[in-house]
Amino acid sequence: MPTALQRTGDFSELGNRIFDPLSGAAFPGNRIPVSRFNNISQQVASFYPAPTASGTANNFVENVTQPSNQQSFDVKSDFHLTSKLVMFARESFSQRDLTTPPTGDFHFAGGSTANSRNQNAVVGITYTLSPNKISETRSGSTGSR
């Protein structure tokens, strides 16, 4: 983030010389005169939050909350229909709403919302054909949005 000095046009803390794009000459003391500030650029710069740490680089740290709301369940039932026929059914469901706030509470830096809903169902049948042979069939379905 721009430091307090940089917001006033004083870039002396950078160490590198900055140049006037109109004349090609270095700005004296690495300071841009206020008369050279662009009104639109000043308005855009006002959206940037103040630094939260010292220095000219990596000087912004933010700890934001990320609200998340999730509901889910799983249900399974086993059915022993006869001594040779066993069946089961399972249903799973999950729904999640997640909101990520924009960094620095910027008006133009994004933030996002991710909502998901997932369902899964399975049915299985096991049939005993003989003491050493069985038949097993399973079918499932998954859906998400």
Name the pTM for this structure.
Answer: 0.51
**Domain end residue (candidates: 10, 41, 61):** 61
Tell me the residue length of the chain.
Answer: 145
d(CA 57, CA 15): 13
Question: For the segment 40-99, what is each residue's pLDDT rounded down to a tens digit?
Answer: 988 888 888 888 899 988 988 877 777 888 999 999 999 999 999 999 999 999 999 988
Please count the structural domains in the chain: 2
Q: Domain span at residue 34?
A: 1-61
Strand-pair partners of 16:
none
**Domain end residue (candidates: 39, 61, 83):** 61
57 and 110 part of one domain: no
**Mean pLDDT calculated for residue range 128-143:** 96
Reference 123, options 138, 144, 110; nearest CA is 138
More confident residue, 88 or 145: 88
Q: Both 140 and 77 in a single domain?
A: yes
Q: Which residues contact 44 (CB under 8 A, 6 or more apart)?
A: none
Q: Does one domain contain both 21 and 75? A: no
Query: Can you give the pLDDT at residue 110?
Result: 67
**Both 14 and 37 in a single domain?**
yes
Average model confidence (pLDDT) for the chain? 89
Question: What mean pLDDT do residues 125-129 have?
Answer: 97
